[in-house]
Structure 1
Amino acid sequence: MACCFITQPIDERAVAFLHDHGVDVRYASHASMESVMAEIGDAQAVITRDLGLNAEAIRVASALRIIASHGAGTNTIAISEANARGIVVTRTPSANSRSVAELTMGLMLAAARRLCDADRAVRTGEWDFRYHCGGLELHGRTLGLVGFGAVAQDVARIAGQGFGMRVYAWSPSVPDHVFSDLNVQRIRDLPALVRASDILSLHRPSDPGTPPVFNARFAEALRPKTILINTSRGSAIDSQAFLDALEDGRIGAAGLDVLPLEPPPATDPLLTCDRIVLSPHIGGATAEALFRTAMTCARQVLDVLSGREPPHRL
């Protein structure tokens, strides 16, 4: 019987699907690469979440045929090692895009209306916070989307149709008709997008070795008190450029679901800045998204083990 090794828990309905189709399932005892390497054995398939799979673990798994990433990103998987060994790598684009888009809007609202500060004010008896909170209305603001894939397209729908925002976007690869279909203005020059936007939301994929899209040049083009949202990858932001922009007021507030190091060290200056709303990489962590993502992984595992081409192979 074929075996699928799962590094971290996934929706049990996907596990049942694999069982029903004759695939045995084993879980790692701990979500660590050491446990994976010790326990992966002769598994033909792996489903991994943010733990990924490094080159050493791939080399240990001599029978491995597919690595299924439980998410759209594959930056924690040693792609070159997998390719060298003829191992298929798949991902799950769009499975969690609506959930990530909704969190993007949630972080945008939280940053614009200072919701975390407001919550603390009520709990500590600072009721007069309402007189000086300085919140911003999203309606009529210009939202700039850096990248225009599935998540950004869902954000555009919610922001434009639901909040009445002007939506601009930059992408070097998405066809023109996608922009026009969603009533989004295409900006072909990234610094021009940055200069035009009240709120910027990052949606570019980030692979190992890819330079951060938010760098010093990006920061120089910011309007004063821009709101920055990042639900893509922590590596999309150069930390020093970001901190400098916070300090000099080019960034007025930010909402970050992803960080350069996860979890962040206790000394990370982001943890002490009250103008940043933080969440622990939960963009796709809804029941609906987790089910869709797990089932997409399971179906692609079955495809490869059955000799079929999976739909979302890298």
Structure 2
Amino acid sequence: MGIILATSRSFSDGDLDLVGRARAAGHEIVRGPAHHGLTELAPLLAAAEGWIAGTGPVTDAHLAAAPNLRIIARYGVGTEAVDLDAAERRGIPVTNTPGANADAVADHTVGLMLAALRSIADGDRRVRAGDWGVRRGRELGAATVGIVGFGRIGQGVARRLRGFGSRILATDPYLPGGVIAERGAEPVALDALFHAADVITLHAPGGQTLVDAARLDGIRPGTVLVNTARPDLVDEAALATALRDGRLGAYAADTLDGDTAGSASALLAPDLSPRVTVTPHLGAQTTQAVDNMGSMSLDDVLAVLEGRAPAHPVFSTPDSSRIAGPSVARAAKPSVAHS
């Protein structure tokens, strides 16, 4: 019986019994810590043939501790925590789950827009404290919304916004303007989007800072910024300053710099609480998304362990002793990309 290491907290935690599916295919799922601490993981990696990896780091040291590993299946879309070069050197294919949580994150994004525009979280806090004072909000349908990154999630947000009647702008270096227009948004350059939008939502990969002090100088007073992508897309100290001086009307996010250590974030200062809403990585946490991510990652692991090509490669090794099928080259990453 082969060992498949799973380090995502929510793997097989939906409606589907993925542990049973693996067992029926002749493999055992072994759980490991989501933080990927090497001291705890090393004994598990030593026996693992497949790894369904969560958001923790996957380094060359992890791979050195896994002599039998034949595939890393990222449970989710982002692969910035995976040392792809180290995996490629060792002939270990890497996969992800594109589109598995796109609808869930798009729903959550629109929910955060509404929460920010209508002060929903702050209103709840005030009522519980006995304060029923009214604070006037803005309607989403009357807003110009700028979408940064027009992949599956960005396009899902646009589809939802059309029901509200919002004007929708989008920027994405991967997509020609004509394609963006066909998919329901007005194509604009990144800086033009920041100048024109009332609400801006980020759907780009990490590893770049898109919202800094200079870019905040060009936004409309009172702009709402939403981030359900990555914390390093924004300069949190600059956001805090812009919130205090009124350039930024509200910030709503599903992530913070440091995440669980995020109590040190400048955005959690008590004076900013009326205009900052943060959720603890809830965007992808729906039963449907959990089932989608789990099924896609497990199917790719089983494919490789059975000598077949995975369906969702970030790249594949051409080593036919490990995996059947052609190699898929990794594309160079532009400065702004879609999720």
TM-score range, shorter chain: over 0.9
Match of 2:144 in 1: 142
The answer as to whether partners of 2:236 and 2:266 remain within 8 angstroms in 1 is no
Describe how 1:1-314 pairs up with structure 2 within 5 A.
1-9=1-9, 10-11=11-12, 13-28=17-32, 31-33=35-37, 34-127=39-132, 129-130=133-134, 133-160=135-162, 162-187=163-188, 189-206=189-206, 210-272=207-269, 273-274=272-273, 275-314=275-314
TM-score normalized with structure 1 length: 0.93
Paired residue secondary structure (1:117): helix
Structure 1 residue 265 displacement after superposition? 4.0
Tell me the alpha carbon deviations over residues 254-279 of structure 1, each in whole angstroms, 9 at most, x when there is no partner. Answer: 10101121113433221122111000
Structure 1 residue 29 displacement after superposition? 6.1
Structure 1: distance between partners of 2:214 and 2:89: 37
Structure 2: distance between partners of 1:250 and 1:59: 49
Identity %, equivalent residues? 35
Structure 1: distance between partners of 2:159 and 2:208: 29
Matching residue's letter, 1:238: D
Structure 1 residue 311 displacement after superposition? 2.1
Tell me the alpha carbon deviations over residues 252-303 of structure 1, each in whole angstroms, 9 at most, x when there is no partner. Answer: 0010101121113433221122111000111101111001110000001011
Matching residue's letter, 1:82: A
The answer as to whether partners of 2:237 and 2:266 remain within 8 angstroms in 1 is no
Paired residue secondary structure (2:142): coil
Structure 2: distance between partners of 1:190 and 1:175: 14
Question: How many equivalent pairs are there?
Answer: 306
Paired residue secondary structure (2:3): strand
Matching residue's letter, 1:140: A
In the alignment, structure 2 segments of 5+ residues that lack a partner are 315-339
Structure 1 residue 182 displacement after superposition? 2.7
Matching residue's letter, 1:25: I
Structure 1 residue 35 displacement after superposition? 1.4
RMSD: 1.6
In the alignment, structure 1 segments of 5+ residues that lack a partner are none
